[in-house]
Amino acid sequence: MLFVAIIGLAMTAVAVVLVARRVLWLHRLATVGPPAPERVEYAKAHLAEEIKTQLVEVFGQRKLLKWTPSGVAHFFVMWAFFILLTVYIEAYGALIQGAITGTPDFHIPLVGTWPVLGFLQDFIAVAALCGLIVFTVIRLRNSPAKLGRRSRFSGSHLGGAWLVLFMIFNVLWTMFLFRGAAINTGNFPYAGGAFASEATAAVLHPLGEGVNEVLEPVGLLLHIGVMLVFAVIVVHSKHLHIATAPLNVAFSRRPDGLGALPEMRSNGKVLDFEEADPDTDQFGRGTIADTTWKGFLDFYTCTECGRCQSQCPAWNTDKPLSPKMLILDQRDHAFAVAPYLTAAKEEREKLPEDALALLEKPLVGEDGVIHPDVLWSCTNCGACVEQCPVDIEHIDHIIDMRRYQVMIESSFPSEAGVMLKNLENKGNPWGMSEMKRAEWIEELDFEVPVVDGKLDPDIEYLFWVGCAGALEDRAKKTTKAVAELLHIAGVKFAVLGPMEACTGDPARRLGMEFLYNMLAQQNIETLNEAGVKKIVATCPHCFNTLANEYPQLGGCYEVVHHTQLLAKLVEEGKLTPITPIEEKITYHDPCFLGRHNKVYTQPRDIMAKVPGVRTQEMHRCKERGFCCGAGGARMWMEERIGKRINAERVDEALTTDPDRVSTACPFCLVMLGDAISEKKNSGQAKESLEVVDVAQLLIKSVKGESTPTS
């Protein structure tokens, strides 16, 4: 046994050195970029929340379990890693004790002979074996060779995935081999409970005592050796997420990487645009060296599972953006330039020209790491972030690259340039006069107060109308419906009228942070001077910006979406839907209301209270809802590649055979309305089909109108 112990400990020493070298290399690579102190500060300040998140997301596998078969399989395989650590304690104990006493009958002190532990070890190992079978079936059924880009594994490093499954299998069968032999030689610590090991012992028993005495140390060395080889493979593969996933979850943005975008930072500090210098300060991400350690942690943590890809509206409409490949392409490039990136400054100066060219390779460009069509296909819908089981923040990567392209390279779709000029000159994306913002009020039969100076004390809410709600004809119907409903319910509200400007959401999501900053500070000054405390908004983009992003600039208000307020008024009896609407309605979840802010129930509650309404969910709804195509400033960019996203969404809506499609966002209203019009023109949709806001349905029932308010 002494010889066996020497071999085992020598293998361990070699593996530890190899793993340590790789871990130090990964750390050195991740820290070449700018710091991200805000991540550490948040984690420290919200320690209790972070502990809960670890329990729910990492140990509880909340996101993975949403995909039931693969989620359950992963749950058992993951817990096998934790529980079977006790088997390795026993294995090393047997190795050392066998060398000292000649008898490898080691057991863990206190709990080492408890049959429950033996049962638990065998149970989780068998469950993990079943999990491997499930993974194998899933990978075979979803093979890219068979499904092409419809496979969520398309683009993943498939060989590495199969190798990992094979190594886990090796860990499990070698465990049963040495435990079964140990039972037959009398060196097993458990008198019962370890049912699978006992079954293995029964198979090995006919081989005789001598063979089992040989199989025990051989199996022991195999089990330890496989684990050590696996450890080396892990730190060189996608399975690195075993170690980095808890860290990535701990330092991710709460609650789930959605909501407010991170502020622009340079050298770890929030960028002050009044003092910023493009020559010395960092404006977004131009090369891989501009990536923070949190960005590298995202690279290391990607499991290549493709859940993000399978839910991405761009990928599903044949566009080049795959959130998974966006991360993997950056990771592969980072690994390729790592020897140069981690070199000392004086060493870099001596590098050959081809190495320097690779090091300075732009992240975005025709010959860059990421093609521009990939970058500008993103709608910021958040489906990728919502589905990622390890909290990778794909949108943050995209926005960082967009910021550099827009503010430093001035490289972005030309149509978006028109939108930016309109925002800068007129305060709205269409370039219309600010005086038109209050024209919708003239179409009502009651007075709507327009703020002039301080808000009157009896005004409860400022109604943030938004650019679309004030200027776009279809969205104005929602604005008037909400105003009427608030008036009927006796809610005192006022509007800013011409003093209201775009919240800056389109500029920020495009990457023009400077213009966003200017618009946001202007609006915050207006709101603060008026003494505004509570805001109701009909546009989810305005709602998200006012509620989540303005606090970064000191604008803190109580903000609700109109569906939240209307649902509350209906619940309190201040609004009573009485007239039946005998229609089948399917509801489309706006991304910035649903995934970004978790408002799913209130719009549905409103429709449920309207007599006669029959609701039918689309197969992709709520947190898995499909985008309309307007987010991420895509509302103002042409969609030239693949199928139009709004057409895909309307095709899904048509499968429910609805009389009407409802939503709660002016952008969705426009995008879905355009797609429905095209379907009508081609005879694919009935002429009576239209898209309306939930508020329009409610006012129709409350007032007893035959048609929605127009």
- Is there a domain that residue 118 lies in? yes
Contact 469, 437 (CB under 8 A): no
pLDDT in tens, 346-394: 777 777 777 777 888 899 999 899 999 999 999 999 999 999 999 999 9
Q: Looking at residue 1, what is its pLDDT? A: 67
- Is there a domain that residue 708 lies in? no
Contact 345, 35 (CB under 8 A): no
Q: Cα-flanking dihedrals φ and ψ of residue 412, to 5°?
A: -165, 165
Residues 79 and 211 in one domain: yes
Please, how many CA atoms are within 13 Å of residue 199, restricted to the half-sphere of its CB?
9
CA–CA dist 86, 107 (Å, integer) = 10
Angle at Cα 534 formed by Cα 533 and Cα 539, nearest 5°? 135
* H/E stretch holding 662: strand 660-663
The amino acid that residue 639 corresponds to is E
79 is written with which tokens?
Answer: 């817990």
Residues 471 and 549 in one domain: yes
Residues 267 and 208 in one domain: no
- Is there a domain that residue 243 lies in? yes
The residues of the chain scoring below 70 in pLDDT are: 1, 705-710
Alpha helices in 503-561 (DSSP H): 505-510, 513-530, 540-544
Q: Which range of residues forms the domain containing residue 512? A: 416-571
Residues 128 and 52 in one domain: yes
Contact 351, 340 (CB under 8 A): yes
Residues 406 and 422 in one domain: no
Number of alpha helices (DSSP H) and beta strands (DSSP E) in the chain: 31, 10
Residues 178 and 144 in one domain: yes
Angle at Cα 288 formed by Cα 282 and Cα 293, nearest 5°? 80
CA–CA dist 126, 137 (Å, integer) = 17
Q: Looking at residue 708, what is its pLDDT? A: 45
Q: Looking at residue 256, what is its pLDDT? A: 75
Residues 179 and 316 in one domain: no
Please, how many CA atoms are within 13 Å of residue 22, restricted to the half-sphere of its CB?
17
Residues 629 and 678 in one domain: yes
Nearest to 463 by CA among 506, 524, 527, 517: 527
Q: Looking at residue 340, what is its pLDDT? A: 86
Indicate the angle between helix axes 85-101 and 209-234, nearest 10 degrees: 130
Contact 260, 546 (CB under 8 A): no
446 is written with which tokens?
Answer: 């009651």
Contact 390, 323 (CB under 8 A): no
CA–CA dist 59, 55 (Å, integer) = 5
- Is there a domain that residue 20 lies in? yes
> What residues does 559 pair with on adjacent strands?
535
Collapsed DSSP state (helix, strand, coil) of residue 537: strand
Residues 647 and 509 in one domain: no
Contact 152, 304 (CB under 8 A): no
- Is there a domain that residue 147 lies in? yes
- Is there a domain that residue 709 lies in? no
Region of 140 (left: φ > 0; alpha: ψ -120 to 50; beta: rest) is alpha
Residue 406's domain is classified under what CATH number?
1.10.1060
Structurally, the chain folds into a number of domains equal to 4
Q: Looking at residue 318, what is its pLDDT? A: 96
Residue 555's domain is classified under what CATH number?
3.40.50
Strands 534-537 and 493-494: unpaired
- Is there a domain that residue 241 lies in? yes
What mean pLDDT, rounded, does the chain reach?
A: 93
Give strand ranges (E) for 518-658. Answer: 534-537, 558-561, 584-587, 614-615
Residues 297 and 348 in one domain: yes
Q: Cα-flanking dihedrals φ and ψ of residue 270, to 5°?
A: -60, 135
pLDDT in tens, 15-36: 999 999 999 999 999 999 899 9
Residues 406 and 474 in one domain: no
Point out the domain boundary residue: 192, 223, 248: 248
Q: Looking at residue 111, what is its pLDDT? A: 82
Torsion of CA 339, 342, 347, 348, to 10 degrees: 80
Give Cα 45 distance to the centre of its chain: 23
CA–CA dist 284, 403 (Å, integer) = 5
Point out the domain boundary residue: 518, 550, 571: 571
Point out the domain boundary residue: 231, 248, 265: 248
pLDDT in tens, 441-500: 999 999 999 998 899 999 999 999 999 999 999 999 999 999 999 999 999 999 999 999
Angle at Cα 60 formed by Cα 249 and Cα 313, nearest 5°? 60
Q: Looking at residue 2, what is its pLDDT? A: 79
